[in-house]
Structure 1
Amino acid sequence: MKPELIKREGNSVTFEIIVDAAEFEKAIDKAYNKTKSKYNIPGFRKGKAPKKIIELNYGKGIFFNDALDIVLPEVYPAAVEELSIDVVSQPSLDIKDIKEDGSIVLIAEVDVKPEFTVENYNGVEIEKIEKEISDEEVENELKALVEKQSRMVTVDTPVESGNIAVIDFEGLLDGVAFDGGTSEGYSLEVGSGTFIPGFEEQVIGKTAGEEFDVNVTFPEDYPTEELAGKPVVFKVKLNEVKVKELPELNDDFAKDTTEFDSLEELKNDIKTNLVNRAEEEAKNEMKNSVIEKIAESVEIDIPESMIEAQLDRQIQEIEMQLSYQGWNLEKFAELSGQSIEEIRNSRKEEAEKLVKNTLIVEKIAELENVEVSEAELEADLENFAKMYNMEVEKIKASIGEAELEGMSSRIKADKTVDLLLEKAVLK
């Protein structure tokens, strides 16, 4: 039976879905077969009681919830498609009626994409961004390459700033070791500011084999409350002193470590890459400026569910980044002196802005009839495969329809913003 739109108030839509009696009975049977093993009925072995007997003992509606879970993935998407509504939230569902013929009447309430207009989006005036690459930036890239080829050499000289001191240490507060204050074989770059202020300075001048005390006071704003502002003593043993040995930067270095035959060729390649990167950054900044400029004149009543969904994605990204460093969100929140809810709320304005900009780009793509060709999608898949050193066919086999749709949406958005930048007036 066809769904029926009941009302639309702002971004909220309420509609009715009728689940056919025969269809629901099939779902009841599936629910029974799925859950019958958990019912104990006297006179029957566990899992062997007939459906009617279980219903007599537990009530006619015992399988309703499970049956709804089975039938909804079929009837709900079909209803949404039939009504042509662009849903952006999980549905709130209620059973309105169970008819005499056994059919089920459901009421669904959802948020949908907001309706709005975008005008005067072509020829937007923005500031032209140009970035120049200095000789210093090229030299810094060369220094980084040299650093990668450096090696650590053990020396018998006293510790100097810039040396690596391999130490064992134990931190004592009022003579008692505290959590996180003990380590063995720790490589400390002296002068890096890694440790508590005053610690590294007291290592300078010491030689391998020495054992000594380091007296420091934790900062008043130190995240661990029991240590904040407290004087402590570290019992330290210096095991080894290492210095960084850097290769000489010349033609031989270029030949030995890169595909170039001279230092000049290497420098030119570095500058070319830096210029390309700077141009791409400038282009991206101007793209953002175009969207921001258009967004200034567009009013959108954004459903809260869309903002919350965007916040969920942002928090997931933070959690993923933290996991790479062996952290979790709870620990990060504790050390930053915030609750997880405060971290979330601090990003709400940014989330709302991202949702608004995405909606605007989607609307303009629709107005400009921007489409994604099979060739463009194929090229994107090939780039993805190269990035992860995989075969394109394996990539295709591993991603589903939703992922492909997401890739297509991203390409469409990129094409739309490129179009807007092409038509923008650069001041």
Structure 2
Amino acid sequence: MQVQLETLSGLERRMSIALPLAAIDAQVNERLKRVARTAKIQGFRPGKAPAKIVEMNYGAQVREEVLGEQVQQAFYKAAAEQKLRVAGYPRFEPAQGDAESFKFAAAFEVFPEVVVGDLAGKEIEKPKTEVTDGEIDKTVDILRKQRTRFNRVEREAANGDRVIIDFKGAIDGVAFEGGSSENFPFMLGQGQMLPEFEAGIIGMKEGEIKSVEVSFPADYHGKDVAGKTAVFEIMVKNVAEAQLPEVNEEFAKQLGIADGDVAKMRAEIRKNVEREVKRRLTAQIKENVMQALIDVTPMELPKALVDLEVGRLMEQARQDLAQRGMQVKDMPLPADLFTQQAERRVALGLILSAVVEANQLEAKPEQVKALVEEFAESYEQPEDVIQWYYASQERLEGPTSMVLEDNVVEFVLAKANVVEKEVSFETLMGQNA
């Protein structure tokens, strides 16, 4: 086998390989003999057709199979001998051969050399948030609002009430799409409807009918009505006052505290809130560390790997849209939408692999077990969750990857200039972590 390697650009390589035809022909003949033993050819019993007839029927197919296998084997053997780390899949092209050799060329990319820059001078922000009694009170209020009851009242509607209405809208006397509804419920004062629409309902009683003029903003999402003025005929069919449950024994039982002890309820809520705060802080710190690694490790990325990642992200997007009930079979998804995210993922994958290998940061079994047990804490039957993870090595891949990333985060924080920053509870919980 003759091999010639050339560098086309940064990561691009081209390898030209010549394979002896004699060896290929020998393999083709050997495979045709095996095919002949079971070949079903019209006019002959299975395995009794002459070699020439077998070759006429199967020769081209067998030669194509042998060439495909030989090309793959020869390429990866040559790459290993040249100590090349091939990124993605090579592109094979036939080349001009001769009477004694079959020649082909393979265009491919190699992995870049990853050199992590100096982290000592890199500032990494480490957010921290304290969970106080005030945060627990706010969480209790949220839980109360989630269990709000609405009691019908005969008074005038006010902010905070839930109203059920019929309405019909018209612009210049003509009804418009989406401008009418029956038995439509919403809360006054929460910005669910346009301000003029809500203001017109405040003060109305059950059974009352009123016309309200509403001006749609110029940037309103409905282009057909944006910037126009409509008149809505509104009938109030029900006014209900919100009643929040008392924080008492019954409320505690609704939240899963068997004996209704309010103190136990607050302790359980604190535990859950602190767990969520920890999760979000960990996610934000990890994000900051990953960005720091990218900042100090510039590199050229193999286009093949980026393209593969773009493909995966596009498929994930299609599956997500399909789960939302959208028809995505023929929906075009521009690759450009996913390129930046794909590049970031590829870069982090290469960097993390290099950092882990260079500093022996592999996930230890006891670390994985501790994380799985932490996952299981939030379930009613933690033992079942732990058993589910350990029933399959594939299920442990997620926790193992998370531990590996945590090890990298800990390593980087020990090297970098860490700056702690207080983050309010509201800001942290408002982040999509």
Question: Shared topology, TM-score over 0.5?
Answer: yes
1:370 corresponds to which residue? 361
1:241 corresponds to which residue? 239
2:159 corresponds to which residue? 161
Give the 5 Å matches for 1:40-51: none
398, 405, 412: which one aligns with 1:413:
405
- 2:325 and 2:83 mapped to 1: Cα distance? 45
* Contact kept in structure 2, 1:124 and 1:294, CA below 8 Å: no
- 1:51 and 1:159 mapped to 2: Cα distance? 90
- 1:285 and 1:253 mapped to 2: Cα distance? 34
Q: Which amino acid aligns with 2:11?
A: N
333, 347, 364: which one aligns with 1:356:
347
2:145 corresponds to which residue? 147
- 2:404 and 2:69 mapped to 1: Cα distance? 35
> How many pairs were matched up?
390
2:229 corresponds to which residue? 231
Once the two structures are superposed, residues 159-196 of structure 1 have per-residue CA deviations (whole angstroms, 9 ceiling, x without a partner) of 22222222333433344433333433322222221223
**TM-score when scaled to structure 1?**
0.68
1:240–1:104 Cα change, 3 Å: farther
* Contact kept in structure 2, 1:168 and 1:186, CA below 8 Å: yes
Give the 5 Å matches for 1:204-353: 204-259=202-257, 261-310=260-309, 344=337, 348=340, 352-353=343-344
1:404–1:112 Cα change, 3 Å: farther
* Contact kept in structure 2, 1:24 and 1:67, CA below 8 Å: yes
1:13 corresponds to which residue? 13
* Contact kept in structure 2, 1:385 and 1:395, CA below 8 Å: no
Q: Which runs of 5+ in 2 are unaligned?
A: 33-52, 420-433
1:239–1:91 Cα change, 3 Å: farther
**Residue 369 of structure 1: CA displacement?**
2.3
Greater shift in the superposed pair: 264-273 or 64-73:
64-73
Residue 188 (1) aligns with residue 186 (2): yes
Greater shift in the superposed pair: 373-382 or 89-98:
373-382
**Residue 368 of structure 1: CA displacement?**
0.8
1:172 corresponds to which residue? 170
Q: Secondary structure at the match of 1:249?
A: coil
1:385–1:273 Cα change, 3 Å: closer
Q: Secondary structure at the match of 2:157?
A: coil
Q: Secondary structure at the match of 1:220?
A: coil
**Residue 149 of structure 1: CA displacement?**
2.4
Bigger RCO of structures 1 and 2 (CA < 8 A, at least 6 apart): 2
Once the two structures are superposed, residues 60-95 of structure 1 have per-residue CA deviations (whole angstroms, 9 ceiling, x without a partner) of 989999999999999988887777654444543433
- 1:179 and 1:75 mapped to 2: Cα distance? 66
* Contact kept in structure 1, 2:372 and 2:386, CA below 8 Å: yes
**Residue 409 of structure 1: CA displacement?**
4.6
Once the two structures are superposed, residues 142-173 of structure 1 have per-residue CA deviations (whole angstroms, 9 ceiling, x without a partner) of 10111222223333333222222223334333
* Contact kept in structure 1, 2:314 and 2:335, CA below 8 Å: no
Q: Which amino acid aligns with 2:93?
A: D
Q: Which amino acid aligns with 2:159?
A: S
- 1:221 and 1:377 mapped to 2: Cα distance? 51
Q: Which amino acid aligns with 2:171?
A: L
Q: Which runs of 5+ in 1 are unaligned?
A: 29-49, 334-338
- 2:345 and 2:369 mapped to 1: Cα distance? 27
* Contact kept in structure 1, 2:119 and 2:415, CA below 8 Å: no
* Contact kept in structure 2, 1:163 and 1:242, CA below 8 Å: yes
1:63–1:163 Cα change, 3 Å: farther
Q: Secondary structure at the match of 1:14?
A: strand
- 1:141 and 1:169 mapped to 2: Cα distance? 36
Q: Secondary structure at the match of 2:284?
A: helix
* Contact kept in structure 2, 1:169 and 1:234, CA below 8 Å: yes
1:257–1:106 Cα change, 3 Å: same
For the aligned residues, what is the CA RMSD? 4.9
**Residue 245 of structure 1: CA displacement?**
2.0
1:287–1:384 Cα change, 3 Å: closer
Residue 113 (1) aligns with residue 111 (2): yes
Find the structure with the greater CA-based Rg: 2
Q: Which amino acid aligns with 1:274?
A: V
Q: Which amino acid aligns with 2:264?
A: E
Greater shift in the superposed pair: 364-373 or 87-96:
87-96
1:205–1:394 Cα change, 3 Å: same
Q: Secondary structure at the match of 1:232?
A: strand
Q: Which amino acid aligns with 2:356?
A: A
- 1:130 and 1:411 mapped to 2: Cα distance? 21
Once the two structures are superposed, residues 295-320 of structure 1 have per-residue CA deviations (whole angstroms, 9 ceiling, x without a partner) of 43332122345445555555666666
2:41 corresponds to which residue? none
Q: Which amino acid aligns with 2:9?
A: E
Give the 5 Å matches for 1:34-73: none
- 1:74 and 1:243 mapped to 2: Cα distance? 76
**TM-score when scaled to structure 2?**
0.67
* Contact kept in structure 1, 2:90 and 2:106, CA below 8 Å: yes
Once the two structures are superposed, residues 306-352 of structure 1 have per-residue CA deviations (whole angstroms, 9 ceiling, x without a partner) of 4455555556666666666656899xx9xxxxx9659827x73x654
* Contact kept in structure 1, 2:251 and 2:260, CA below 8 Å: no
Q: Which amino acid aligns with 2:404?
A: K
